Amino acid sequence: MSLDQITREVEQRLGHRRLSRTWAKIEILLGLLAAGTGLFFGHFALSSTDRNATEGVPYMTVLGGLALFVLGGYLALAGHRSHLYQSANESLALLIAEIRQLNKKDSVI
């Protein structure tokens, strides 16, 4: 039995659906882009020298930048978590394969 088959068996027994490495990488990329954009908007809103002293701080732009930063951080962490789950599933499948192989050797002797 191959490692891929064992991984599918583990996922099926646990009731998990197959995770996509491509989607996890896209989540990380989109998250980092959103977080960077949020930081840019927040910095731009707080350091703008074009406004008068009477105008004050553009709070909606600052809050929008903060929201983008938080959303981006969440997406990047979600993609990373997906990679960790995939690695754990593959490690478990390797461990199962090794145990099965050892049991076959013991039963032959």
pTM over 0.85: no
Q: What percent of the chain has pLDDT over 70?
A: 93
Residue 8 confidence class, pLDDT cut points 50, 70, 90: confident
pLDDT beyond 80 at 106: no
Q: Is 57 left (phi over 0), alpha (psi -120 to 50) or beta?
A: beta
Mean pLDDT across 62-84 = 95
Q: Are 18 and 11 in contact (CB under 8 A)?
A: yes
Q: Are 83 and 24 in contact (CB under 8 A)?
A: yes
Q: Are 82 and 18 in contact (CB under 8 A)?
A: no
Tell me: the pLDDT tens digits for 35-71?
A: 999 999 989 888 876 666 567 778 888 899 999 999 9
Residue 54: the pLDDT is 60
Mean pLDDT across 80-86 = 91
Mean pLDDT across 82-94 = 88
Closest CA to 83 of 12, 31, 5, 9: 31
Compute the distance between CA of residue 34 and CA of residue 38 in angstroms, rounded to an integer: 6
Q: Are 26 and 78 in contact (CB under 8 A)?
A: no
